[in-house]
Chains A and B, each alone.
Chain A
Amino acid sequence: MPDNLTELTIHEAHKLLKSRQLSSVELTRAYLERISRVEPEVHAFVTITDELALKQAEAADRLLEHDGVSPLAGIPVLIKDVICTRGVRTTCSSKILENLVPPYDATVVEKLKACQAVIIGKANMDEFAMGSSTENSALFITHNPWDLSRVPGGSSGGSAAAVAAGETVFALGSDTGGSIRQPAGFCSVVGLKPTYGRVSRYGLVAFASSLDQIGPLTRDVADCALVMNALAGYDRRDSTSAPRPVPDYTQCLDADLSGTRIGVPKEYFVEGMQAEVATAIKAAIGQLERLGAEIDWEVSLPHTPYALAVYYIIAPSEASANLARYDGVKYGFSYQAPSMWESMEKTRQYGFGAEVKRRIMLGTYALSAGYYDAYYLKAQKVRTLIRREFDQAFEKYDALVTPTSPTVPFKIGEKVDDPLQMYLSDVCTLPINIAGLPAISIPAGFADGLPIGMQIISKPFGEETILKIAHAYEQATEWHKRRPEI
């Protein structure tokens, strides 16, 4: 049995499991031990489902004797705590759902269970997925395994930190404005936000329904393709899921980028961007060129500077509607006051944290009588222009490449008191959600030991192009092999 069990990728572990050199129970135990060792420093898990995991591992071991099992069989996975798990508490890292035990599984959880993956726990996050640092969790703060004094990014910070710290083989996250890619970049792991509609949102607690997507966080690009094979596809329970066939995403992993046309949008090298980040990403794009890609360094997407405002009108507006359901009647925290209205107002006052309240207020304002046209409708129109601009770009280019974030991971506490500064850390990722596009973040360097992520974007349902470019880059570099010293 190899001694680095908690550093294995899915495809490496699968080989060992299939050849019976390793059992899923052994693998799962190794992860549970690793969790008990590093969790006091990282704090990535809201719930550790150790008993459930060992039971699932035993079942997987019985199946692994047979042919035709999924590459995910017997592999530990961590689920972001915004995705419903039947019988396992799902908190959204919020006081208001602290004790919620869902009566059903999200479609993605059903699919992972059907693959016999081993659910090892639920991951900490910014409350209701609103944030960029996991500091908005109402439960506790997650620390970046590369430097414990820094944030892991957010909102899927627990998922990304756990993959980086060797506490799970892979994780699920959700991405509304960068919540998979930004933490993937901050923790030096691979994180994909699929095309809107590619993966079912059934059982994902809604934040902003026209922007939310579930996706994988993994140790390498091949793993990302394997998890996408399991997750993608139409689901009649999500009326926005796309009725399109799912390709085998592992088939596009190719090292040769000859003839691949890549554009570099200059607006993404924003003012205030950390110099080391710009330098690292430009070097990474140079590497893509050496692998055969044709690079156009002078692409312009002139509506990019408006994306932040569009996002912070549309996302809070949708959130204010989605979060209206938390009234303390059917589930969740419930404050008992003498009157109905007071019960409801107090339930929401004590149940929601500061950032969630801020976004509910913002969204309610943008949708209120007299302001709807100036804010919400205007933002939806500019959304059209942003999408058109991308459509035009993808007539010329197969993919666009940018930094994932303008900086390396920042210090815990550095931005909590300044919402606008915090919002700016998603400036490179949120235009992608506005347009509904797929995009990945992959490890692309370090500055003073802190990770830098590269974002690769493609047209709707262009996941294969993204995975191909990401894989080729990864095979030519060593960044993804570095592990934090923890």
Chain B
Amino acid sequence: MKLSREEVLHIARLARLGLTEEDVDKFREQLSNILENFDILQQVDTTDVPPTAQSIVLQDVMRNDEVTPSLTAEDILANAPRREGDCFRVRAVLE
């Protein structure tokens, strides 16, 4: 089953990833190929098998709610592409 143009564009939109026309064609081809190889998993019987999200078993721990040193605002803003005072400057979200 080959991915359609629309499917590729839909995934790109979910990922907020701009694609060129060339990218769309290339990804249709490559992703379809790769996904076809994943079909091998359907051969495996996973009835009653729980999923693994994490390979070592750990328990959640609680910590005291204490103030500890953290980065300064200046440190955090030092790499900002656009800033205004102590804020990151962004394009309007609601238009």
Contact = CB atoms under 8 A, between A and B. Distances in A.
Interface of A: 99-101, 103-104, 195-197, 210, 236, 239-240, 242-243, 303, 305-306, 308-310, 312-313, 320, 324, 327-334, 336-346, 348-350, 352, 357-358, 360-362, 364-365, 368, 374-375, 377-385, 387, 419-420, 434-437, 460
13 contacts: A240-B58, A303-B44, A306-B40, A339-B92, A348-B17, A358-B31, A378-B42, A381-B46, A382-B44, A385-B46, A420-B33, A434-B55, A437-B55
Contact of A378 (B34, B46, B88): B46
Q: Please name the 8 residue pairs, one residue from A and one from B, whose CB atoms are nearest each other, closest first.
A: A436-B55, A349-B18, A380-B51, A334-B81, A331-B79, A103-B75, A345-B18, A381-B46
Contacts of A434: 55
A350 B90 CA distance: 19
Main secondary structure of the interface of B (DSSP, over half): loop
SS class of chain A's interface: helix, strand, loop or mixed? helix
Which of A103, A196, A210 is most buried by chain B, counting CB atoms within 10 A of its CB?
A103
Given A210-B53, A345-B17, A385-B49, 11 more contacts: A104-B75, A196-B54, A330-B80, A339-B92, A361-B27, A375-B38, A381-B49, A385-B44, A387-B55, A420-B34, A436-B54
B16 A197 contact: no
Contacts of A336: 82
B86 interface: no
Interface string B6-34: 00100110111111100100010011011
B33 A365 contact: no
B27 A242 contact: no
Nearest to A102: B79
Contacts of A306: 40-41, 44
A434 B50 CA distance: 15
B67 interface: no
Contacts of B49: 381-382, 384-385
Contacts of B88: 329-330
A379 B41 contact: yes
B11 A361 contact: yes
A239 B54 CA distance: 12
Contact of B17 (A210, A339, A361): A361
Contact of A236 (B16, B19, B63): B63
Contacts of A309: 37-38, 40-41
B59 to A, nearest CB: 9
Contact of B14 (A100, A101, A333, A368): A368
Contacts of A341: 16
Interface string B76-90: 101111100000101
